Amino acid sequence: METLSYKPADAGGKVIMERPNIIFYFSDQQRADTLGCYGQKLDISPNLDRLAKEGVLFEKAFTAQPVCGPCRALFQTGKYPTQINCFRNGQPLPFDCKTVADYMDEAGYETAYVGKWHLASHRNSYTAPPDIDYEEKAIPLERRGGYRGFWRVADVLEATSHGYDGFVFDENMNKCEFKGYRADCITDFALEYLDAYDGNKPFFLTISHIEPHHQNDRECYEGPIDSKERFADYELPEDLKALKGDADEMYPDYLGCCRSLDDNLGRLIIKLKEKGLYDNTVIIYGSDHGSHFKTRNRDAHMMGGDDYKRSCHDSCLQVPLVIAGPGFRGGKRIKELVSTAGLPKTFLSIAGVDVDEAMIGEDLERVASGELSERKNRIFAQISESRIGRCIRTEEYLYSVYAPGQDGWQQGSSDYYEEDFLYDLKKDPYQLENQVRNPAYEKVREKLAWELLEEIEKAEGIRPVIAPCSD
């Protein structure tokens, strides 16, 4: 195991570690446009906005998988969900997959995890009961993805809690009940960890909030009790205005959830400063996917269940991403397209661990510094559950294909796809006019199909057929 080294104490007597602490603070189902630093007019994110001015904001960050479990599997392993058979919800992490926590432990980091896990239980369908069931039970050590220390977690947090009150389990599998607003209580557990932190090792702490994800059993967003009044003057994003899902009813509570996340980010920053840890801690703020508020996946091609995600559209794929701390300074705004698939590699690079091709994606510090000048400015995403889908997004176009007649819950990939969506983003930034059948875009479609096949082959080891849409 690598031996830690420290810098001498400064004039104030504070010992400064050479390698930074790392906090991954991520939300669930959060659109980037909920935040002030991404254009939100209401006072939703003062703490994150300040952090963005200190660090690096990625203006166009996209998820590689807009479903909770698969995206979390990617965050833990640096592998595409199809590579590890975690392409849908209800599929646990495989035991033989080396995780970020494993690498961190080898590098001398202390690892801690708080919040939603979503990678321990197994279901064969949404309606069948789990056959590996930790949804409301304590997760044993062997199913924690290499996290061996502080642990305040529920596998399916929406099953053990509501907006107010609930429970998680600790590292000894003891039930930990909480009273109060859920985002506050999950942050309380993170602060508990920081209060007990002794500074002997640098730490990697993940805080996995469920907000602003809708509450499944109540089919609504559960913001703090004053959200509807506090955010009554909201203005819907243009895609939601045009497509008329359920945002008019749900958006104030959704924003309330987002404001609570920001308030708790502020509490976290205060604690880091109190402990003398802030200057040597990298904070990564992101989300697993966005929300389309029941405006997408209305077509006949949808083969699986849908609610607010599971779509190739920006409303689902584009997420907030702000990184601040050592290596990420200066208030930069990165305009290039980036994928959050690069986050695991980035975490480890911050920790001084080079995984090279063992993980997918890019080291985002190198993107932010301009080192990767030859990179392809496009993102690739896998869509599951609603359909078996694949897409690429460039600055100019969004192009997506699907596997007709195949169930995106039961199968992760296909050797045959048909064109599904094509949007001209310069003319149609809110993705309202599908041009996939427009003969004027034939050459564009051919080029994008070739680029998408490149990405599929690289990610999945097969080169499928992409055919024109048949209906």
Residue 150: φ, ψ to 5°: -55, 135
Q: Is the pLDDT of residue 471 over 90?
A: no
Mean pLDDT value across residues 81-108: 97
Question: At 212, is the pLDDT very low, low, confident or very high (cuts 50, 70, 90)?
Answer: very high
pLDDT at residue 10, as a whole number: 43
Question: At 469, is the pLDDT very low, low, confident or very high (cuts 50, 70, 90)?
Answer: confident
pLDDT digits (tens, 9 = 90+) for 224-264: 999 999 999 999 999 999 998 999 999 999 999 999 999 99
pLDDT digits (tens, 9 = 90+) for 188-205: 999 999 999 999 999 999
Helices 46-54/247-274 angle, 10° precision:
60
* Nearest one of 212, 250, 253, 249 to 230, comparing CA atoms: 253
pLDDT digits (tens, 9 = 90+) for 34-78: 999 999 999 999 999 999 999 999 999 999 999 999 999 999 999
Q: Global pTM?
A: 0.95
pLDDT at residue 125, as a whole number: 81
pLDDT at residue 379, as a whole number: 97
H helix or E strand, kind and range, residue 421: strand 416-424
Q: Is the pLDDT of residue 12 over 90?
A: no
Is 387-467 CATH 3.40.50.261? no
Q: Is the pLDDT of residue 6 over 80?
A: no
Q: How does DSSP assign 93-118, residue by residue?
A: PPTT---HHHHHHHTT-EEEEEEE--
pLDDT at residue 279, as a whole number: 97
Residues whose CB falls within 8 Å of the CB of residue 425, separated by 6 or more in sequence, listed in order: 395, 396, 397, 398, 431
Q: Is the pLDDT of residue 27 over 80?
A: yes
DSSP state of 186: H
Give the integer Cα–Cα distance in Å for 373 and 391.
Answer: 23
Q: How far is CA 65 from CA 98, 180, 244, 293, 370, in A?
A: 20, 31, 24, 17, 26
* Nearest one of 444, 332, 427 to 392, comparing CA atoms: 444
The fold for domain 21-368 equals Alkaline Phosphatase, subunit A (3.40.720)
Mean pLDDT value across residues 16-21: 77
pLDDT at residue 235, as a whole number: 97
Residue 235: φ, ψ to 5°: -125, 120
pLDDT at residue 7, as a whole number: 35
Mean pLDDT value across residues 97-106: 98
pLDDT at residue 373, as a whole number: 77
Give the integer Cα–Cα distance in Å for 462 and 35.
Answer: 39
Domain boundaries, the chain: 21-368, 387-467
Give the integer Cα–Cα distance in Å for 115 and 257.
Answer: 15
Residues whose CB falls within 8 Å of the CB of residue 39, separated by 6 or more in sequence, listed in order: 33
Q: Is the pLDDT of residue 15 over 50?
A: no
Give the integer Cα–Cα distance in Å for 256 and 352.
Answer: 37
- 409 vs 319, more confident: 319
Pairing of strands 416-424, 465-467: parallel
107 touches 352 (CB < 8 A) = yes
Q: Is the pLDDT of residue 98 over 50?
A: yes
pLDDT at residue 237, as a whole number: 97
Mean pLDDT, the chain, whole residue set? 94
Mean pLDDT value across residues 313-337: 97
Q: How far is CA 23 from CA 44, 77, 191, 343, 361, in A?
A: 21, 17, 12, 12, 19
* Nearest one of 185, 181, 163 to 115, comparing CA atoms: 185
Question: At 16, is the pLDDT very low, low, confident or very high (cuts 50, 70, 90)?
Answer: very low
Residue 143: φ, ψ to 5°: -110, 20
pLDDT digits (tens, 9 = 90+) for 403-425: 999 999 999 999 999 999 999 99
Mean pLDDT value across residues 160-169: 98
Give the integer Cα–Cα distance in Å for 392 and 448.
Answer: 8
- Percent of the chain at pLDDT exceeding 90: 90
pLDDT at residue 4, as a whole number: 32
- Window from 303-312, 347-356, 407-416 with minimum mean pLDDT: 303-312
pLDDT at residue 11, as a whole number: 38
User: Residue with structure tokens 């959830």?
Assistant: 257
111 touches 124 (CB < 8 A) = no
